[in-house]
């Protein structure tokens, strides 16, 4: 049995059993409260640069199925669980989680009181973290803590560049509208929702020039989800500024934050973020509450929206953070949550229905 140790920047040290690959993982420790969906979460590009910890105690019991991948590989830097199931039982399972982690050369630690550690993160905020999976002698803990403190924070890393497509790619041919996606780390499930609408889908890099996007004659541009601090993506923000008013714009998660910044609003880092499958979102017009899937560590500053031409359409009743916006004059809409779910409820699939309604309306004007 492999051994493992987890250290935080404040010196917290936790020993456990190791799984996945032997070696070291480092990143920002974040927690997710979902009860299922570990494959989708591990492969979600939004977790790039982060060590993912699940609060649900048993992980791996239904194995791994490649149909659930949200990208081509695991994107989280490491994995922290209370108990790992090494013998899954499910008709869809193609391999166990330990094998999946080894294939992707990702380190994991089990035997951790994840709920206690989550309480610590909620009290003190997200922290830099390092996991070491080893065989043999116990490593020097003081050296691991020193390395953890010297590693860059999430705001200092070029994480979007790691997950964005490198060259423009025609992803799907349909008979519907032409959709260009600015890929900041898009999930496969978002593309699947666009395919259901029979849209033509083209992905472009996050640093693509706005003229190249307009050259595709899109009916709409979607700015995708992705990892990291939105305020560091100056090129993408400028691209959105230049697209505003020329083509309908839609944003999801990081894309929502980028649109807000492009219109003159501000963003800030949340203490411990929103990551899970049961976050309530309230429609400001109807009062209807949706249960949503979320995965983000930054949010739009509510009071900075005044004077930008934007208005708040949805709010989070837990902490009153901004969950949706639209422009009062321009064709711009975005949401902070993940309307595609995966993992999570399907309450907000209608985002895509509304998106195509607005695209058709714009095309007929």
197-244 pLDDT, tens digit per residue, is 999 999 999 999 999 999 999 999 999 999 999 999 999 999 999 999
**Does 11 score more than 80 pLDDT?**
yes
**Assigned token pair, 234:** 């100056």
**Does 365 score more than 80 pLDDT?**
no
* Average pLDDT of span 156-171: 91
Kindly state the percentage of the chain with pLDDT values over 90.
95
Identify the pLDDT of residue 116. 97
Cα–Cα dist 81/76, whole Å: 14
Which residues are catalytically annotated? 253, 338, 340
Kindly state the percentage of the chain with pLDDT values over 70.
100
Contact of 23 with 3, CB cutoff 8 Å: no
* Average pLDDT of span 343-355: 95
Identify the pLDDT of residue 186. 98
DSSP string, 307-328: TTTEEEEEE-TTT--EEEEEES
Confidence of residue 126 (pLDDT cuts 50, 70, 90): very high
* Average pLDDT of span 31-42: 97
Comparing 174 with 5, the larger pLDDT belongs to: 5
Contact of 245 with 210, CB cutoff 8 Å: no
Identify the pLDDT of residue 151. 87
Tell me the domains of the chain and their CATH numbers.
3-155 (3.50.30.20), 160-363 (3.40.50.880)
Question: CA triplet 106, 192, 356: central angle to 5 degrees?
Answer: 140
Point out which residues pair with 25 in neighbouring strands.
131
Identify the pLDDT of residue 92. 97
Question: What digits encode the pLDDT tens for the residues 47-104?
Answer: 999 999 999 999 999 999 999 999 999 999 999 999 999 999 999 999 999 999 999 9
CA Rg value for the chain: 20
Burial class (CB in 10 A: 0-12, 13-18, 19+), 87: exposed
Identify the pLDDT of residue 159. 94
**Does 156 score more than 80 pLDDT?**
no
Identify the pLDDT of residue 154. 75
**Does 28 score more than 80 pLDDT?**
yes
Q: What is the mean pLDDT of the chain?
A: 96
* Average pLDDT of span 287-304: 97
CA distances from 95 to 126, 147, 150, 334 (A): 31, 33, 36, 37
Confidence of residue 1 (pLDDT cuts 50, 70, 90): confident
Q: Return the minimum-mean-pLDDT range out of 108-112, 155-159, 254-258.
A: 155-159
pTM: 0.97
Confidence of residue 262 (pLDDT cuts 50, 70, 90): very high
């Amino acid at each position: 049995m492999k051994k493992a140790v987890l250290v935080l920047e404040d010196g917290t040290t936790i020993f456990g059993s190791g799984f996945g690959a032997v070696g070291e993982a480092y990143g920002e420790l974040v927690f997710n409260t979902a009860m299922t969906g570990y494959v989708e979460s591990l492969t979600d590009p939004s977790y790039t640069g982060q060590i993912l910890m699940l609060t649900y105690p048993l992980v791996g019991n239904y194995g791994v199925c490649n149909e659930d991948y949200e990208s081509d590989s695991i994107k989280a830097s490491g994995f922290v669980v209370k108990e790992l199931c090494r013998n899954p039982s499910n008709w869809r399972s193609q391999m166990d989680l330990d094998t999946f982690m080894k294939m992707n050369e990702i380190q994991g630690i089990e035997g951790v009181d994840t709920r206690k550690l989550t309480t610590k993160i909620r009290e003190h905020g997200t922290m830099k973290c390092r996991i070491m999976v080893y065989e043999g002698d116990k490593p020097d803990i003081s050296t691991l803590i020193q390395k953890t403190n010297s590693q860059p924070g999430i705001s200092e890393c070029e994480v979007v560049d790691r997950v964005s497509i490198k060259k423009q790619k025609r992803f799907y041919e349909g008979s519907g509208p032409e959709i260009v996606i600015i890929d900041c780390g898009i999930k496969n499930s978002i593309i699947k929702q666009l395919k259901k609408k029979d849209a033509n889908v083209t992905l472009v890099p996050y640093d693509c020039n706005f003229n190249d996007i307009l050259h595709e004659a899109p009916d709409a541009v979607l700015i995708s989800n992705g990892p990291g601090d939105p305020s560091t993506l100056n090129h993408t923000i400028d691209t959105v500024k230049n697209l505003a008013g020329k083509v309908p714009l839609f944003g999801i998660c990081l894309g929502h934050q980028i649109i807000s910044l492009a219109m003159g609003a501000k963003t800030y880092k949340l203490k411990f973020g929103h990551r899970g499958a049961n976050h309530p979102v309230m429609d400001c017009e109807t009062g209807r509450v949706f249960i949503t899937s979320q995965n983000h560590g930054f949010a739009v500053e509510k009071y900075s929206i005044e004077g930008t031409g934007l208005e708040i359409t949805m709010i989070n009743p837990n902490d009153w953070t901004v969950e949706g916006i639209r422009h009062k004059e321009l064709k711009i809409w975005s949401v902070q949550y993940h309307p595609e779910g995966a993992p999570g409820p399907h309450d907000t699939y209608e985002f895509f229905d509304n998106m195509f309604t607005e695209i058709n309306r714009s095309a007929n004007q």
